[in-house]
Structure 1
Amino acid sequence: MAEDLLADVDRPLPERLVEAFGQWAGRYVGPLARDVAAVIAGNTNLLGEITQTAPRRFEELITGAIAVESGQETAAPVAQTMISASIGLQHRAATRESYLERLRVAVELLVR
């Protein structure tokens, strides 16, 4: 779903990024973010390589969407910073709406 959202170049990049992050991480905020992280960390043998490949793929998608507007050299560090901000917000926000509101601010700052 995030891939489809990011591919819709008729919409503004910040809007697409926030919606993609909302699909990727916005469902897991507050205490649930910690619980999900603990389940993943405690069950890597059951989950297999998806715990590594899925986050890498999401980063590639975010980087690619940003690169279209700002170039590849700029895109990678911006994407990595957005992902770091998202992870922090997942733990600090109490609701999905709060996560998305604060993420919008971060995205707007990073894609100027």
Structure 2
Amino acid sequence: MNSLEHKLTSLKLGRVKQVYSDWIERARETGMDYGEFLEELLSEELLSRQENQLKKRLHSASFPFEASLEQFDFSRHPELKRSVILRYFDSSFVEKAGNLLLIGASGLGKT
């Protein structure tokens, strides 16, 4: 392990350690300046950490299986309008930190 890799390990920059050589090559090829190089490298580390946090949260939630909105069968519940539900998955709803309350009997897929 070289000195840089040792420092990256000590600083717990695991993703940077994995990809820094690729980013160095990319920076050479594109003429990327130092600031842009550093920003891109750290953005990749941040994204990796966010993905890991999400994975840990999903695992600790102990969901019985992984599900997505694309898998939801709207035909089984015609009272749920797909266009209305999808409106709440738009980034603007999340950015506004809006609240959504789903009310209904057990087994309807509110979770």
After TM superposition, the score normalised by the length of structure 1 is: 0.33
Higher helix share: 1
Q: Which has the higher contact order (CA 8 A, sep 6+)?
A: 1
In our comparison, the structure showing a higher alpha carbon Rg is: 2
After TM superposition, the score normalised by the length of structure 2 is: 0.33
